[in-house]
Structure formats: structure tokens, C-alpha cells
Amino acid sequence: MDEPTVLDYVKSLLTPWKKSSIQFPAIESSEDISDDVAGMAAEDISPPDKYTPVVETDQIEPVHKEVAGSISIPWRAGTSLLVGMGAQWVLAPPQRAPLIGIILLLISAWCVVWAFLCGEWKNAPPPETKLFKDPLKMDIPSFGIGILFALLTFITSGGNRFSLLNLAFLLLSLVFLFRALWRKESSEENFLSNLTSSLRHREWQFSISGWFVLLIVSTVLVLVFRVKDLSVLPPEMVSDHAEKYLDVINILNGNTQIFFPRNGGREALQFYLISSLLLFFNTGINFLTLKISTVLIGLLALPFFYLLGKEIGGRRTGYITFVFAGTAYWLNVVSRAGMRLPFYVLFSAAALYFLIKGLNSSNRNDFLICGLVLGLGMYGYSANRILPFLIFAGVILFLVHKKSQGYRRQVLGQTGILFLIALVAYLPLLRYSIQDPAGYAGRMISRLGTSGAVPPAKLLSTFAVNSFDALSMFSWSAGVVWVTSVPDYPALSIIAGAFFYAGAVLILLRYVYNRRWMDIFLLLSIPILLLPSILSLAYPGENPNLYRTGGAAVPVFLIIGLALDSQMSGLEERYTPPWGSRLAWGIFTALFIMSAILNYDLVFNKYYEQYGLSAQNTSH
């Protein structure tokens, strides 16, 4: 082979996918060379270090080993991030340069692939999980009693009314079914015994770790973002808010409906939450009470962001997901709007967590809780009706991957249990939907049907356009609904958007090499959870928006957390301790502060100003 030239060396650097990197060997003595030749004759030489695709493994092998003396600055990963931020910036208003933005996104994606192959983006392996054999045994008498109470729940739920009787039957049904199906684990017995023994001691000792302090400080920061200026942001009610109080007053007067057909039909949970705030805390019939109810739901969703990130990528991934979601403009304005919108985020996050956790371990108890979450979610917001399809997709993807071998029948049985519990929790609403199908599904059908401005012949093309608009909302426009967004601004900030697109590429690469069902499920869950907005075919002007797409925020911020954690892991592996960890956390801190400043400006300045200019002065 001819001696490589300088041009050959430059070409090898610019075409990393050809695996033709040229290294300059150290000068060897004649004795070393003769020893090498003899060794080559005596043994087989292994091929160059490669990233070999494997099937369904939880461990990711290194893709690149640094050569001693080579430059260790991760410039490819840095370039992919900077170019991605540039793309996000030029796509947002007032710049709006779509061609330049698309070119920059493609360059950023290419740099992500290059950096991944060179080890600068380092996907940390998720926590190890082990599938457990489940004989699917149950307590037959308790199961029979639970089914009996379920039938009584359905029978007594007529007339679109919650009563003490049907609520008691529903609660008893769920209690007996959980008793019949719950799998008692040795860890639960150990936990209870340890708790009992610790309570007997008169002297307790507590220790506080640095990680705990970090979580507390971050939680306080998230609370500031979510509750600051809540009394004046947003400033005025609109007609939808006033309609809610008409239903709340009906509840306070004893009209305890299961479903509220007013204003196109609305689910009940928020109305009962508002009624509780009025009864127990005397918050008053005002806009602030509406906002308190939805801010509470938005905050309740955030622990599931952390738990999901921890389940998929580890503790640090969970933390990054939590703080970026907690301070995000998207989720902040949705939770402040005073409408049912954050219920979609809450139940999407909870259902995804228990589903993924259950499939990872084949633990029947997680399927039971997921079923309860799914059933209760139907009382929160109409967009939650897409969640059964999400669960079907997750189970099917798990079953077609290698990890499910030997457990497929078991998982199918556990999935059946999941939907049984969901059905029981849904029974009162099911009874109403049978009695008044038009009232229950009227709003949904009006968006799917032909009552709008789009003729039936164009519904398919409208679906395609809606899908593109919804999938581009992260960097282009999240719609023009001024009540719940800054019109025409993207859903993600410059920092979050760059990491989202980089993370999507990374997860796709990880799936190609590892065939882990969770990776492809995480990507596919985004278009599924966007469907409540995409399916506004009769009124395409309502798509996209930040509220009917709220469930998609869960996998979106999980991907952001995974991407940023991957960059930090790459830095930690590249540099010797403790400098690698310090550099990684320093970069995270700088990026998070920048992201928080951008989100703060969008919520507390731009959103506040445009809302005040658009809304009528109803409070005076």
C-alpha cells in the first residue's frame, strides 16, 4: 500500500462514515517491528474497533476509543449543538428563514451522527431491568365480588349523575379487584417490616445528600416559574372560563353530573377540583381559583417526568427532564390557562411511566396502576381518549422485540388486566356515553367530520398537512391561539429545540444498534400524542396548538433529557475525573440558565403582553 499523503489524511477526517481514519504510528525500533511480524504470524488479528449492531440489549458498547495524544475536544458534538441552536433561532420569529433553518437542521443531524460514531455523544445505558415470571394467579372470591360491584356501578350510574351509591360501588369494585389481582412482593414485606422496626426506635438519624439538595433547589425554582404572578398572569377570563363556573355552581347546588354537556361537552375532574377549592379553601369564584386548579395539576405531572427519565436513562436523565419541563414555556402557559388542558399532560405522563415500568419488569402491579390511570384519565380531558391507542402501540412494540421472548403470553394477560381496571374506572362515563352518544362525542366528531370548512374529498390531504404542521411546531409555530400561547412562536426554546432534534437522531441511532423497544416507542409516541390536534380536520386552523398536543410534551422533554445527559456522559468519559464531571455539570448549568431566561421572557413578558392586548377587560 502506498504511503498516505496529507490530502488522504484530510479526506479521512471529513468522511468518518467510511471508517478510513488514518493514524500516524509512533516510530518503532527494528526489534519491535520484527516482534510484531512474528506475533502476526502466530495469532489472528482482530478487526478494527467497530460499533456492532446488537439485538435487544441494555448495554451500549463504546463506539470509539481515543488514540493517545489525539485532540480530546468534542468539537463535533459542540458543532451539532451550536448549529442546531442556530436552526432553532432562524426558524422562530421574527427571522423566519425556513430554507436556511432546514439546511442548518440537516447539518446539525449530520454532526450528531458523526459525533455519535466518534463517541462524543455517549448514550448512557438505562438502568438494568429484569423480567419476572408471573403465574397470573388471583384471589377468585375477591375477583368475583369486584366484578359484581362493577355491574352495580354501571346499573346505578344512569341519569348522568354521580351519587354516594354508585361511587361507593365503584370504589368497592376497584378495591376488591386490586385485592384479587395485586401481586404481593417480598420487597413490600421488607419495606413494611423495616418501617415498623424504625418507628419503634426512639432515636432517628437523617442524612442529606448533595443530590437531595439539588432536587430541592430545583423544585423551588420550578415552583417560582409556575406560580409567580399567578393572580395577574394571564390577566383576564374569556367565555370558556365563565362557562366553567356555570357548571361549578351546578355542582355546589347538588347537580353532580358525570359529564357536562355544556359548551360542546366537557369532562368532570376540573369542575370537582374547583368545587373542592371553593368549599375547603374558600378561594372565591374568580379567575385565580381556575388557575390554581390547573397549576396544581401541572405540578402533579412533573414527578412523572422525573420518574420516566429515571426509568429510561437513569437518575440524571430524570433530573434534566424534570427541570427543563418544569421551566418550559409550553407547559407553563398550559398550566396557567385555567382550563382542563394540563390533565392531558398529567395522565399521559403517568400512563407512560407505569406502562414502560410494567413492560420493563413484567410486574403485574404496574399494569394495574396503569389501568387505573387510564380509566381516571377519561374524566380529565377529551384528548386523553388517545391514550388507549398509545398503550396498544407500546405493548405491540414490546411484543415484536426480542426482549419479550418467553413472556409474550404473560404480557398479553397483564395487558388484559390493565384494560379491565380501566374499563371498571370508566363505567359511569361509559353509561353516559351509551345514553347520550352525541353529547359525549359531539365535540370530537365535529372536528373529525364535515361540519367545518373542509370538504370531505380533502380530508386526507388535510390530515397530511395537519401532521406536518404539528410535527414542525417544535421549531416553527405552535399555532395562533393567543389564550394558551404566544401566536406563531415555536413550542420549544432555542436550547430545548436543539437538544430535542439532536436527541431524536441519537435515539434513532441507538435503536439501529441496540433494537431496544423503548427507543422506537419513545419516538412513535410523539405523533400518536399529537393526534388530538392533528385530527381537527374540519377546522385545520385549530392545529397545531399547545393544549391538544400537551401529551406529546412528555416524550419530547424525555428526549431532551436523554440528549443532554448523553452529552454530559461523553464529556465525563473523555476527561479524567473530576474535571470531566465538573465540565459536564458546568455546561449543563450554563445551558439551563440560558433556557430558563428564554422561557421566562416568553411567559412573563411576551405572553403577558399579547394576552392583555387580545382579551377583553372583563374584570372591570
Does residue 32 have a pLDDT over 50?
no
| Least reliable range by pLDDT among 67-71, 157-161, 328-332, 418-422 | 67-71
| Least reliable range by pLDDT among 255-259, 262-266, 441-445, 455-459 | 455-459
pLDDT at 136: 84
Question: What number is the average pLDDT over the span 275-286?
Answer: 95
| Least reliable range by pLDDT among 205-209, 463-467, 504-508, 573-577 | 205-209
In percent, the amount of the chain with pLDDT more than 70 equals: 83
pLDDT at 1: 46
Q: Which residue has the higher pLDDT, 415 or 454?
A: 415
Q: Are 181 and 141 in contact (CB under 8 A)?
A: no
DSSP state letters, 146-209: HHHHHHHHHHTTGGGB--HHHHHHHHHHHHHHHHHH----HHHHHHHHHHHHHHH-S-------
Distance of CA 74 to CAs 81, 313, 431, 563, Å? 11, 22, 60, 15
Does residue 463 have a pLDDT over 60?
yes
Does residue 377 have a pLDDT over 80?
yes
| pLDDT classification of 209: cutoffs 50, 70, 90 | confident
CB-facing half-sphere around the CA of 612: CA atoms within 13 A: 10
- Environment class of 211 (CB within 10 Å of its CB; exposed 0-12, middle 13-18, buried 19+): exposed
pLDDT at 29: 45
Q: Residue 286's CB: how many other CB atoms inside 10 A?
A: 14
Q: What is the C-alpha to C-alpha distance for residues 225 and 230, in angstroms, rounded to an integer?
A: 10
Question: What number is the average pLDDT over the span 312-327?
Answer: 96
| pLDDT classification of 538: cutoffs 50, 70, 90 | confident
DSSP state letters, 239-251: HHHHHHHHHHHHH
**Residue 74, all three cell numbers:** 468534542
pLDDT at 210: 86
Which of 39-53, 191-205, 296-310 is predicted most confidently? 296-310
Does residue 21 have a pLDDT over 60?
no
Does residue 591 have a pLDDT over 90?
yes
Does residue 296 have a pLDDT over 90?
yes
pLDDT one-digit tens code per residue, 166-184: 999 999 999 999 999 998 8
Does residue 30 have a pLDDT over 80?
no
Closest by CA position to 389, among listed 379, 377, 401 = 377
